[in-house]
Amino acid sequence: MKKVVNVSLAGRSFTLEEDAYKRLTDYLEHYKARLTVTDSQKAEVMDEIEGRVAELFYQSVGTGDRVVSLALVEQVADALGMPDGSAETQRVYTEEATAEKKLFRDPDSKKLAGICSGLAIYLDVDVTLIRILMLLAIIFGTAGIWIYIIFWIAVPVADTPAKKCQMHGLAPTPANMSRFSTYSK
């Protein structure tokens, strides 16, 4: 017995198997990530692609209680491809491609030890804000300097591509690790 999910695409209601729904959302996210248009145009393009997906689903299953399977979603994804006309080569936006973020010192955008940039990546905030807060903590109290020194000693450096992936919340897969170079010039 499989779970099913009711979905509305372009004003049409469809019932998808749970794995088909996950695959469809992965495909749409991957498609959106590969668009090279402005944010306002992305919404229009995504509405159009969802409309086309709905048309293809409707042609295959029609109306009624027929369920969209994973095989049909794969066919639609293969038929539509990606915005640049290529086929979808690898699903980057799956649960397996993400991982829990870990705190590391960032050697790529460091000013002194990489603590502020590492904290900014970990907390998903601007590094300038963290640097200003750290500077204020150092100026207005002695605890700031001790916090910085403790972090400098306790937090490891992200000196390998695998550690950089973990710092950014990505699984250390070959595709993700290729984003980060171990060589700095």
Cross-sheet strand order for the sheet of 4-9: 4-9, 12-17, 67-68
Question: If pLDDT is split at 50, 70 and 90, which confidence band does 84 have?
Answer: low
Q: Are residues 141 and 148 in contact, defined by beta-carbon separation less than 8 angstroms?
A: no
pTM, entire model: 0.46
C-alpha span between 100 and 87 (Å, rounded):
29
Residue extents of the structural domains in the chain: 4-96, 115-177
Six-digit token string for 36: 């090279």
Per-residue pLDDT tens over the stretch 100-157: 888 888 888 878 888 888 888 888 888 889 889 888 888 887 777 888 888 889 989 8
